[in-house]
Structure 1
Amino acid sequence: MPRCPNPRCQMDYPSGTTRCTNPFCLCLLPEAVVGGRYRIETLIGLGGMGAVYRVSDTFEMTQVALKVLTLNSHVTDEATAIERFRREARYAHQLRHKNIVPVLNFGQDGELLYLVMPLITGGTLKELLKGERPLPTTQAQQYLTDLASAIDAVHAHSQKIIHRDIKPSNLLIHQDDGRLVITDFGIARAMEQEKPLTQRGWSIGTEHYIAPEQEHGQAQPASDIYSMGVVAYQMFTGLLPFQAVVRSKALELPLPSKLNWSLPPSVDPIIMRAMEVDPARRHRSAGAFAEALNDAFAKDVTIANDIEFAPTLVATSNANVIIRALLPENPCVKCGRENRSSSRFCRYCGHGLDDASSLVAEMCQIGYMSDKGQHALDNEDMLLIVQGLCVTLTAPLRPFSLFAVADGLRGLQDKQAGGHEASRLA
């Protein structure tokens, strides 16, 4: 007995029923077949323009995602809904980019319009931001770089496409390599050769991410830059702009670095510029936005080769050296740049990543521990302890950074230093 997959409905039906009869649901039931080949398995999500299902392709024997739009949609009139769906299929099928979810097939089955896409199971950016906490800086940077690449590819289309609905729920995480991919071109608009689809009295977009000019039905490429800026603000602070204003009880939007102390202040004007009210004052492209942001972060990184270790520190019998190392993930031993954990070759210089960095090998000697009894009095700010009590570690290769903080050490006058004094000496 099939049951409606919509968690808000879940009505049971006799065997052989293919669709929910609830007028506010109308979901396809499990085992229903669309287009003669796509068998419904489960519901992935519902949206204003239709539903997305996980289906089995009985021809290719693979699992794919199927987006279905019913012709009797309650959201808009039938002609407009059909035109939007066909436009989504046509444009998305033309766009071929690693950060854009491709359309594999599309068609019509009775009163159902459908398009087939690869099944992306890595989740959405919206799910990562549910906790209202900022993402790790490097992760947020990579997602913005991927998003910028996709937006620029959309804007470079000959029909001058605007996505118009850049938001976390439309940004998926690819399960293979963790890259961010953009989907849902159901409200994308070509500025030339085709009539606008915005109905009188309302604009297309999602609240909180929509640009001011788009809200008045005058979307342009800069509108996507605005939405990207809101997404960037949310990734780096964990909050939407309106949430930041309310929670900080401020009269104006707080700067990102004021909400996330790990951010350098140099990124503030870059993110805020993307959300300028005047479209002309925003970044000229998504790529320019991401590049400016990455440059600001790069300038803030401390290079380990510039660090000089004090040679006058002498370890005593109870000396402990605290090490804080900023280590890139899966670093390349040739150029020192960070790569994804699943990568086999460096994406910057092409060098193989099978060889482990010497610094990473040395870090295996670092572990957490705490002293007990009288020893705890000599180690008041101990965090990470280097086994072997070594204070003569050589500076690692660029761009790694290494900092030593120690207690139980003696200075030039042979006076034992501890706590903050030892940290200053180190």
Structure 2
Amino acid sequence: MGAALLATDIRLDSKPVVIKELISDNVDQDRRLEDVRNFKREVATLAHIDHPLVPNVTDHFQEGTRYFMVQEYVDGENLEERLNRLQQPMPERDALICASEILDVLDYLSQQMPPIVHRDIKPANIIIGSKDRRAHLVDFGIARAEEIKNAQRKQTSALGTPGYAPPEQYQGNADPRSDLYALAATLHHILTNRDPRNYPPFYYSAARSLNPQLSPEIEGILTKALNNDINQRFQSATTMKQEIDTLLRQRFGISGNLDSYTLGTSGPMRALTNPNPTSNPGQTMTQVAGPNPSSQVTQQSQISAGLPPPPPVTPFVGIGGPLMTPVQPLPNINNQSGPNYAYQPVPNPVTPYPSSQPQLGQYQPQPNYQRPPKKRRTGLIFLILLLVFLLIGAGLFATYSYLGANKTADNGIGVTMMNGEPIGISDGTVAIDTTLADGSLKTQAAQQLKQHKDNPNAATSFLNEATSQTSNDAEALIYKEDIRVINSGTPYVTLVVATMLSGDQVGTGREDLQGAYVAQKEFNDSARLANGTLVRLLIANSGSKTDYVPQVTQQIVRLQQADPTFVGVMGWPYSGRTQAAIQTLSKGQIPMVSQTASSDALINASPYFFRVAPNNKQQGIQGALYAEKDLHAKTVAMFYDPSDSYSQSLAEDFRQQFEGVDKNKIIKEQYTIGNQNSIAKAIRDTLTQKVDMIYFSGYATDVSTVLSNLPPGNLPIMGGDALYQLGGYQSSARANFNRLRFTSFAYPDEWDVFKLSAQKPIFFSEYSAAFNPDGQHPGGAYGYTRAANDVILSYDATVTLLTAYNMALNTGKKQPTPQDLRQALLKINGANSIQGVSGQINLGPNGDPVEKTILVLYTDSMGRIHMDPTPLGRFLK
């Protein structure tokens, strides 16, 4: 219903703008008036949108019977054009960044009063700007405010684009959740190159069956968002964006604030610059594409032949290569043509807008605020005081209600919703991680288990269905195994798995549960514990904030006091969470074995703290030895951020070892994490000196800048375990991938690289059997047949706890206590050391592993990971 024109605004230094003209091919007068109303609605809608990723309306005007709207021009390439140009899927990392930015727009739209529904999200309506490299949402031609969603309209406007529009939109019942479906359909298209318009609507093949390179997490997000039942999808853009951002951080190492919109930063919408709807003396138009009355022309089809070429585009780099090229003309979508309809004079406005909206061309200033009379102010103050008292009373009542409604908290088991996150300990009566495809089934299982603990058949049935739908969901598998354990009639031991199953670190939490479950299942199925004792796991979630850890640790203490089967904690994986928990657990004399917390600050922090991963000091020392002996480095430029604890401590550990050898030299180069300019400056300084190696103490997203800016040569770059996130690397870094090395605590192929395939632990076959039982996922798929390093280390930590518990059982103790478990953990050394999947586990008197294997990984020019065959430390016991 419109033609897009590229124009220059001579009032603003010839700034390029887009002028959209209404074109109607309807001969029927009523239909034609409906087209005009729709166009005016688009103007009114966009005039009130103030988001940096939506082109602003800068003006609108009428010339005779022709209606025009002026918008900012977004120079770039839309996603449909990109797919047509490259003929291959977009890399997952790039697609997720686009999705996160569009979800920020949708979150903003949903918060408007009334909420705005775009109704036509698809690849052609998302433009990647060539200047800011961000995803912009365009073409609000059929957008609606939710309160008028049942207004009569043309069917094509109501339906959106087949293949992307959800089922309810065909019934005229769209709401903000409908846009989430359309965005998911768009994501599915750009990630798989499967055009949904060429297939029956409302059906999408499993994304990973079309593109095996995709992560299991994105497939789960797509499955949930593309549910035909609107109530089973993500219920808000915020929730879906949280999942996308979590995946970006966990899989691709992209951290920081991914939001684009900050409330109040854009300022108020200014008055329209041309209130006269019949003229526009300050604007000149250059028609780019002749109006085609039968095609729906959107902003992305602005440019055609006859214009000078656009300026060079700065590529948006990602693992898959440049994302943008100069914009090309979009072909006629419908491949149709027809005569232009000559407008007849139409009264303006055609029909009045709702009373809450100004008419087209009218500016209605808000009335000046006037102070209420003194008597009214007195009454207002009284009302405010009354409201304060009511709020205090409500708070007291809520506290009383919480204590009364959560009597299970007396034994430590219970979950409290805190800022939308389920924080606490679950025994299966609460489903914590509900964002996977089987989330609703786990919730139903939890409800059944809570209501019918004596008859868990219904709960087990729901859990069976959940694991059938999402075979690698360890939370559901743990709950199912726990039901079997409790109803077996045999003695059992209880461990708490402490991790993060909501918020930014949910991916790590899922991997922690996978490792713990494989250990639980292995010990139960093979009767590894004495006296037929089985293993029960409780799941403790501290969510997205370290501040939630104290509440969870207090619950663990109450659990220890109430449940004699409970003996210890596996977790937390992060050093900050561990530091927040360690003192409370120590006072309760509760032992904890962490899988990956490596901070030097945890050395000798508590007699009840143990870990299976080496501390940063050991990692820094081994890295320095490798640099000297294998890379023959004598002078090293050490990049570090003194304000970041990980970067600073690892760098200091490396420096002390490296400089301790005669004639070795460290040149310190400080940078700021996330600041490319500071990294570039450090590179320039380094290149003025003769160095043998760069030691980069930091994270993958920043070392990528180093790799991208180094001149040709063979100067090696080395770093720590935080560089084991290759998804976070830019494609421009590929040329120097073969220079990169980093230390790591585990790697799924290490047994094969060490030529110990015949001695590989049963863990590897158990992992695939647990999470890929039907063989539906190909070999080498992370999360199904291939275990991530966090899974391996969580398995080793759980096995360490259970081995120590078995040692206590074998002393004649019928029901060992947490103190007994601690004493047994101190004996896991020498002849009693454990052969873990990540290497030997030989605990020292301070709880740290002694001579634990540290690996060196490196990448080839294609970005594939390889492992140096020489282990640093002792691998076999």
Please say whether Structure 1 and Structure 2 have the same fold, judged by a TM-score greater than 0.5.
yes
Which structure would you say has the larger Rg?
Answer: 2
Give the Cα separation in 2 of the matches to 1:277 and 1:332.
48
Q: 1:236 aligns with which of 157, 182, 191?
A: 191
Q: Which residue of 1 aligns with 2:79?
A: 125
Match of 1:207 in 2: 162
Structure 1 CA distance for aligned equivalents of residues 250 and 676 of structure 2: 27
Structure 1 57/208 Cα, relative in aligned 2: closer, same or farther at 3 Å?
same
> 1:150 is matched with which residue?
105
Distance in 2, matches of 1:167 and 1:206, equals: 8
What is the 5 A alignment of 1:107-186?
107-130=61-84, 131-186=86-141
2:24 corresponds to 1:67: no
The answer for the alignment partner of 1:268 in structure 2 is 219
1:387 aligns with 2:342: no
1:202–1:188 CA distance, 2 compared to 1 (3 A): closer
- Give CA-to-partner distance per residue, 1:93-115, whole Å, 9 cap, x none: 10000111111111211121110
Query: Which secondary structure state, in structure 2, belongs to the residue aligned with residue 225 of structure 1?
Result: helix
- 1:345-356 equivalence runs, <5 A: 353-356=677-680
> Which letter maps to 2:187?
A
One-letter amino acid of the counterpart of residue 292, structure 1: E
Q: Which residue of 2 aligns with 1:425?
A: 869
TM-score, normalised by the number of residues in structure 1: 0.62
Cα separation, partners in 2 of 1:107 and 1:215, compared to 1, 3 Å = same
TM-score, normalised relative to structure 2 = 0.32
Cα 1:242–1:85 shift into 2, 3 Å: closer
Question: Taking every aligned residue pair, what percent have the same amino acid on both sides?
Answer: 22
CA distance in 1, matches of 2:212, 2:177: 29
* Counterpart amino acid of residue 679 in structure 2: D
Distance 1:241 1:81, change over 3 A: closer
Aligned equivalent of 2:45, options 91, 94, 106: 91
Which deviations, in whole Å up to 9, do the C-alpha atoms of 1:57-115 show, x marking residues without a partner? 23333321100003554698111101101010011010000111111111211121110
| Cα distance change, pair 411–121 in 1 and its aligned pair in 2 (3 A) | closer
The amino acid that maps onto 1:53 is L
Greater share of helix residues, 1 or 2?
Answer: 2
The 3-state SS of whatever aligns with 1:354 is helix
Quote the RMSD (CA, aligned, Å).
Answer: 4.3
- Is the Cα contact below 8 Å between 1:171 and 1:181 reproduced in 2? yes
Question: Could you say if the C-alpha distance between residues 91 and 200 of structure 1 is closer, same or farther in structure 2, counting changes exceeding 3 Å?
Answer: closer
- Per-residue deviation at 1:202? 7.8
What's the CA shift for 1:232?
A: 1.2
Matched, 1:102 2:56: yes
1:82 to 26, 36, 61: 36
1:55 aligns with 2:7: yes
Task: Work out the CA distance in 1 between the residues paired with 2:679 and 2:17.
Answer: 37
1:260-310 superposed Cα distances (whole Å, 9 cap, x missing partner): 23322122111111110000011012232122123234334589x989779
> Which letter does structure 1 place at the counterpart of 2:35?
A
The corresponding residue for 1:255 is: 206
Q: How far 1:256 moved relative to its partner?
A: 1.8
Moved more, 143-152 or 121-130: 121-130
Q: Tell me the SS of whatever aligns to 2:57.
A: coil
| Mapped contact 1:264–1:297 kept (Cα < 8 A) | no
How has the CA–CA distance of structure 1 residues 62 and 424 changed in structure 2, closer, same or farther, with 3 Å as cutoff? closer
The CA distance in 1 between the partners of 2:673 and 2:629, in whole Å, is 41
Give the secondary-structure state (helix, strand or coil) at the position aligned to 1:290: helix
Contact 2:118 2:179 survives alignment (8 Å): yes
**Secondary structure in 2 matching 1:86:** helix
Partner of 1:23: none
**Whole-angstrom distance in 2 between the partners of 1:411 and 1:216:** 61
Which of 271, 278, 293 aligns to 2:229? It is 278
CA deviations 1:230-271 (Å, max 9, x no partner) are: 01112222223466899xxxxx74322232233221221111
Residues 185-235 of structure 1, C-alpha deviations (whole Å, 9 max, x = no match): 111112226861423698430111111110122212211111011011122
Q: In structure 2, what is the Cα distance between the partners aligned to 1:364 and 1:153?
A: 37
Secondary structure, aligned partner of 1:353: helix
Unaligned residue ranges in structure 1 (runs of 5+): 1-48, 247-251, 320-330, 338-345, 368-385, 413-421
- Partner of residue 192, structure 1: 147
1:398 and 2:722 correspond: yes
Secondary structure in 2 matching 1:219: coil
SS in 2 for 1:184: coil
- C-alpha distance in 1 between matches for 2:629 and 2:166: 60
Asked whether 1:224 is paired with 2:179, we answer: yes
Following the alignment from structure 1 to structure 2, what is the Cα–Cα distance between the partners of residues 397 and 201? 53
How far apart in 2 are the matches of 1:215 and 1:190? 17
1:81, 1:237 → 2: CA distance? 36
Equivalent pair of 1:332/1:352 in contact (CA under 8 Å): no
Task: Give how far 1:157 is off.
Answer: 1.3
- Cα distance in 2 for residues equivalent to 1:201 and 1:50: 14
**Size of the alignment, in residue pairs?**
317
Which amino acid in structure 2 is aligned with residue 354 of structure 1? S
Report the Cα distance in structure 2 between the residues aligned to 1:351 and 1:312, rounded to whole angstroms. Answer: 29
- What letter matches 2:719 in structure 1? A
CA distances 1:380-406 after superposition (whole Å, capped 9, x unpaired): xxxxxx837x7xx6424735555579x
Q: 1:242 to 1:254 in 2, by over 3 A?
A: farther
Any conservation in 2 of the 1:189–1:196 contact (CA below 8 Å)? no
**Conserved? CA contact 1:214–1:223, under 8 Å:** yes
**Counterpart code for 1:425:** P
Tell whether the 8 Å contact from 2:100 to 2:244 is kept in structure 1 after alignment. Answer: no
Q: 1:144 Cα shift?
A: 0.5
SS of alignment partner, residue 722 of structure 2: coil
Aligned to 1:288: 239
Q: Tell me the amino acid that sits aligned with residue 271 of structure 1.
A: L
Instruction: Identify which range, 357-366 or 186-195, moves more after superposition.
Output: 357-366
Alignment of 1:299 onto 2:626? no
Unaligned runs of 5+ in 2: 254-595, 599-612, 632-639, 648-670, 683-695, 697-702, 726-739, 744-752, 756-865, 871-877
Could you tell me which amino acid in structure 2 is paired with residue 67 of structure 1?
K
Is residue 88–residue 186 contact of structure 1 (8 Å, CA) maintained in 2?
yes
Instruction: Note the C-alpha offset of 1:411.
Output: 8.7
SS of corresponding position for 2:147: coil
CA contact (8 A) 1:92 1:103 kept: yes
Distance 1:313 1:244 in 2: 55
Counterparts of 1:365 and 1:110, CA distance in 2:
60
Checking the alignment, whether the CA contact within 8 Å between 2:149 and 2:172 is kept in structure 1 is no
